[in-house]
Amino acid sequence: MASTTSQPSHAQAQVDSKARQTGWTALIILALLLMEWALVEALKIAPPISIVAKHPHKMAIYMRIFYVHVPAFMAGFTAFFVNFLASAAYLWKRSLKSDALAIAGAEVGVVFTSIGLITGPIWAKPIWGIWWTWDPRLTLTLVLWVMYVSYLMLRQLTPTNEQQPRLAAALAIFFFFDVPIDYMAIRWWRTQHPQPVLFGGANSGLDPRMATALWCGVAAFLLLAGLLFRLRYRLECDRQRIAVLRREAALRET
Amino acid sequence: MSAPISTASRPGTAAERPPAPKFWRVWARIVLRDIKLELRSREALQAMLFYALLIIIIFSFAFEAGAELTSRVGGALLWVAFLFAGLVALDRVFLRELPEASLLGFQISPASRTALLAGKFTASFLLMIAVELLLLPLFAIFFNPPPEARWGMIILVLLAGTWALAASGTYFSALSLHTRYRALLLPLLLLPLAIPAIVAMVQATQHLLDGQGEVAYWLRLLVGFDILYTTLGLALADVVIQTE
């Protein structure tokens, strides 16, 4: 991003924007290709084995949604974490850039967590026979989603002036520290969700071909989330600049 | 307090500014003033009592209240009534300061905003506890709790649970003061945050009502929530209490 303090010459700015445009297009094409590859890996190459061992083989087709479900959550949770870091940074330095990062993090996070929360029940219905259960991990994820929707509600109902970034950051900090307590409150119910396959312990781990499909998916989703994040961040920066220009114009008129 | 934002721009040197009043003095003044105002008008007290009473009555119609129901979901019924009544109190915490711009006056004064938030928290905590203690006998009359219920411990859970709601609720009350749909936004912010506290208070109360099950774990969790959000709220008081 060209900073507002150093004013580059018009020609220089044009070259910059052209280079940025090219880089942007390249990233979008890369994301599309990665998505494509992840899809092929997930639907064709990955062996039809269910991660839940006791399930009959023909059920394993449902398991392929796993390659969307897990990457979506990884992208979503990463975005939420960015929101927390940006909110803390805002309270510390009071820079509007951090606030733009926080907005982008929350919105992208809600989108990807929603994808995870929708794909989960689609898998659960044929495998567990129910759409939803109040299992700790499901509950915690839903609570997390609810919290960030609540955060976006606050942003929507607060006037867009100096107040909003401050209040939103104050809320984000409160919510972030709630997650471990939520975990402790919720884990006392029994667990129905399959145990972690990644980083889970001695018996966890995937067939190598499944791992390839999964990591392709993760890379594709993270890249997509990153692109959306950057887009939302720049939109917010533009909105902030317009607000500043408006205020200056109003001052000049009076 | 960390990062005093607005004090830097204040005119005058340190010598001619009066010394900031002591934290506990400000706190005590706020608490006493709010209690006095509440006792004079008794507006919130009456409204909350009647509201919670209505909720309890509606529940007894909706669920066909009886001893069997109480031993199953009594804790939940009790806390839903207290939660809604508490929201009435929490919504009003800072509202009183708006008409005469006393919040602005407070901000101009050298008194610490942390003390203001602490005072407001204490006053709303006491108000909520008063309402709950008045309602508890009514609950016992309407819902026939089992004789093995341990009321002493239930009051302990009441204190810890109300502290949790009051601490996070006062903070959110300050946070949502200048937003649109303030009265709606407060529960939208408070309820997601309070989920673990609500789970803990309902579980603990439930186990105490039917006299079996783990209580210590939930009580510990509740106290942990209290400590965390009291500290965090006071630390961020300067951030949330600001007028336009």
What pLDDT tens digit does each residue of chain B (244 aa) get? 444 444 444 555 555 667 778 899 999 999 999 999 999 988 889 999 999 999 988 888 888 767 777 777 888 889 999 999 999 999 988 888 888 888 888 888 888 899 999 999 999 999 999 999 999 998 888 888 888 888 899 999 999 999 999 999 999 999 988 888 888 899 999 999 999 999 999 989 988 988 777 788 889 999 999 999 999 999 999 888 876 5
Compute CA distances A195 → A137, A192, A214, whole Å: 10, 8, 16
With b meaning 16 or more CB within 10 Å and e meaning fewer, what string describes A14-33?
Answer: eeeeeeeeeeeeeeeeebee
Look up residue B45 and give its DSSP letter: H
Lowest mean pLDDT among A119-133, A202-216, B19-33, B45-59: A202-216
Cβ(A148)–Cβ(B217) below 8 Å? no
Q: With CB atoms and an 8 Å threshold, state whether B179 touches A154.
A: yes
Query: Nearest to residue A89, comparing CAs of A182, A178, A176?
Result: A176
Tokens of A181: 């307590």
> Tens of pLDDT along A32-44?
999 888 888 888 7
Tokens of B186: 């407060």
Write down the pLDDT at residue B80. Answer: 92
Specify the residue for token string 């109360």: B205
- In this structure, the dihedral spanned by the alpha carbons of residues B44, B46, B47 and B52, taken in order and rounded to 10 degrees, is 120
Write down the pLDDT at residue A57. Answer: 57
Percentage of chain A with pLDDT > 70?
A: 84
**Interface list for chain B against chain A, based on CB atoms closer than 8 Å:** 3, 5, 168, 171-172, 175-176, 178-181, 185, 188-189, 192-193, 195-197, 199-200, 217, 221, 224-225, 228-229, 232, 236, 239-240, 242, 244
Write down the pLDDT at residue A188. Answer: 64
The mean pLDDT of chain A is: 83
Does the CA dihedral A35-A40-A45-A51 come out positive or negative?
A: positive
Give the span between the Cα atoms of A164 and A133, in whole angstroms: 36
Write down the pLDDT at residue B8. Answer: 46
User: Which of B236, B238, B242, B243 to probe by mutation at the A interface, max A CB count within 10 Å?
Assistant: B236
Specify the residue for token string 């290709």: A33
Give the span between the Cα atoms of B237 and B167, in whole angstroms: 12
Query: Nearest to residue B27, comparing CAs of B113, B152, B129, B91?
Result: B113
Over range A165-173, report the average pLDDT.
93
- pLDDT higher at B133 or A180: B133
Lowest mean pLDDT among A82-86, A221-225, B92-96, B97-101: B97-101
Chain A CB contacts of B181 below 8 Å: 157
pTM for the structure as a whole: 0.85
HSE toward the beta carbon, residue B87, CA cutoff 13 A: 19
User: Is the CATH code 1.10.3470 the one for domain A2-253?
Assistant: no
Q: B158 in helix, strand or coil?
A: helix
Q: With CB atoms and an 8 Å threshold, state whether A169 touches B239.
A: yes
Give the span between the Cα atoms of B127 and B48, in whole angstroms: 10
